[in-house]
Amino acid sequence: MQDPEADTEWNDVLRAKGILPPKEKKEEITEDDIVNMLENTIEKKTQDKAYEDMTKDELEDIEDDIDEEDERMFEMYRRQRMLEMMAQQKKSMFGSVLEISKADWVDEVNKAGDSIWVIVHVYSEGLPHCKLINQHVTELAAKFPTSKFVKGRASVCIPNYPDKNLPTIFVYKDGDLKKQWIGSDQLHGMSCKCEDLEWMLGQVGAIPTEMDENPRKQVHDVMQSNIRSATAGNDDDEDDW
């Protein structure tokens, strides 16, 4: 006779029709649960005695007294911690700005990897705005290590690229160009702040920013307010005439 507790398609059909009772869901063991179990186990083994107060023989007795269940618990905890560390390492695989040349472009940009966002800054060392953007790019690369930031001199990466197009930022994902900002005007000139660039890249999805409002909105609102005030003042002067 088939086990009614077994995970089979037939049993699922019987449960759906009410012939078999619903299967009880097993509670998932969280990391906090494992930590608490470990602490309780250690507390039982030491009988509330601090490690620093125990003799060598007492410590050895505890090690010898660890049973199979305790070992399994320790192994579960170790595996979970390893998975967490691997996941974190995978997420933080970048963190700095890589200097590239034309020869590196395909491997470092177009073939960066699946679902990897690549932010490319094409610059010239002699332009102040490029230096400013390079500073911002360096800061954002450290802040968002899951995205890949690279930079390259225009003369090396794109021969004959006009200076009027600098600085330029290209955004790639899966080998495709998703967004580009060309020239100083599109990058807010020398007034561009790091938070401005973070907002722009965040709107594309290139970095996981937590910003929820354009930092330039407040400046724009103040300018509009000043314009309205000035216009209202002119209207009052005309009324005086």
Q: Is residue 149 part of a domain?
A: yes
Identify whether residues 109 and 197 lie together within a single domain: yes
Q: Kindly state whether residue 220 falls inside one of the protein's structural domains.
A: no
Answer yes or no: is 24 within a domain: no
Which DSSP string do the residues of 87-114 spell out, in sequence order? HHHHHTS--SEEE--GGGHIIIIITS-T
Q: Are residues 147 and 181 in the same domain?
A: yes
Confidence of residue 18 (pLDDT cuts 50, 70, 90): confident
Asked if 142 and 107 sit in the same domain, the reply is yes
Residue 25 lies in a domain: no
Each residue of 73-128: pLDDT tens digit? 656 666 776 776 666 665 567 999 999 999 999 999 999 988 899 999 999 999 99
Contacts of 207 (CB under 8 A, 6+ apart): 117, 119, 140, 143, 144, 146, 147, 198, 201
pLDDT tens figures, 121-164: 999 999 999 999 999 999 999 999 999 999 999 999 999 999 99
Q: Which domain holds residue 149?
A: 97-204
Number of domains in the chain: 2
Pair 78, 142 in one domain: no
The angle subtended at Cα 148 by Cα 135 and Cα 89, nearest 5°, is: 115
Q: Is residue 229 part of a domain?
A: no
CB–CB of 124/130 below 8 Å?
yes
- Supply the CATH number for residue 148's domain: 3.40.30.10
Q: Are 18 and 25 in contact (CB under 8 A)?
A: no
| 230 in a structural domain | no
Query: Could you tell me how far CA 4 lies from the centroid of its own chain?
Result: 45
In a domain? residue 233? no
- Judge whether 17 lies within some domain: no
- Compute the distance between CA of residue 241 and CA of residue 112 in angstroms, rounded to an integer: 68
Position of tokens 């600085």?
167
The last residue of a domain, from among 90, 111, 130: 90
Cβ–Cβ < 8 Å for 125, 167: no
Rounded distance between C-alpha atoms, residue 3 and residue 58, angstroms: 47
